[in-house]
Chain A
Amino acid sequence: QSVLTQPPSVSGAPGQGVTISCTGSSSNIGAGYDVHWYQQLPGTAPKLLIYAKTNRPSGVPDRFSGSKSGASASLAITGLQAEDEADYYCQSYDNSLSSWVFGGGTKLTVL
Chain B
Amino acid sequence: QVQLVESGGGVVQPGGSLRLSCAASGFMFNSYGMHWVRQAPGKGLEWVAFIRYDGLDKYYADSVRGRFIISRDNSQNTLYLQMNSLRAEDAAVYYCAKNEAMIARAYFHYWGQGTLVTVSS
Question: Which residues in A have some Cβ–Cβ distance to B below 8 Å?
Answer: 2, 33-34, 36, 38, 44-48, 51-52, 57, 89, 91, 93, 95, 97-105
Contact = CB atoms under 8 A, between A and B. Distances in A.
Given A93-B103, A99-B59, A48 B47 contact: no
B35 interface: yes
B95 interface: yes
A93 B44 CA distance: 16
A93 B45 contact: no
A99 B47 contact: yes
Given A46-B108, A93-B104, 5 more contacts: A45-B111, A48-B108, A48-B110, A57-B109, A99-B47
Closest 4 CB pairs of A and B: A36-B107, A100-B47, A105-B44, A45-B111
Most buried by B among A45, A95, A105: A45
Contacts, number: 64
A103 B61 contact: no
Contact of A102 (B44, B104, B111): B44
Contact of A91 (B95, B104, B107): B107
A86 to B, nearest CB: 13
Interface string B83-110: 0000000000001000011011111111
B59 A98 contact: yes
A100 B50 contact: yes
A95 B103 CA distance: 10
A91 B109 CA distance: 12
Contact of B106 (A38, A97, A100, A102): A100
A34 B105 contact: yes
